[in-house]
């Protein structure tokens, strides 16, 4: 893997952990799922031909 992929993923995990402190297990899972959906949407938008 390239460093430009690992660093944002690690930072995202750290931010998600920091934000989810004090949340119940269910809310943590929901937050993780929403985060993954947003990441996938951004990646699909970036790689689409819409920006070109």
pLDDT digit string, tens, across residues 7-29: 777 887 888 788 878 888 898 88
Torsion of the alpha carbons at 48, 33, 15 and 8, rounded to the nearest 10: -30
What is the structure's pLDDT at 41? Answer: 82
Confidence category of residue 51, pLDDT binned at 50, 70, 90: low
Q: 35, 43, 32: which is closest to 5 by C-alpha?
A: 43
30 or 8, which is more confident: 30
Q: Check residue 27 and give its pLDDT.
A: 85
Measured on CA atoms in the order 19, 31, 33, 39, is the torsion positive or negative? Answer: negative
pTM of the model: 0.59
Residue-level pLDDT at 2: 64
Q: Which residues contact 15 (CB under 8 A, 6 or more apart)?
A: none
């Amino acid at each position: 893997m390239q460093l430009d992929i690992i660093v944002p993923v690690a930072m995202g995990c750290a931010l998600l952990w920091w934000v989810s402190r004090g949340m119940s297990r269910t809310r943590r899972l929901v937050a993780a799922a929403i985060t993954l959906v947003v990441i996938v949407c951004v990646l699909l938008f970036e790689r689409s031909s819409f920006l070109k």
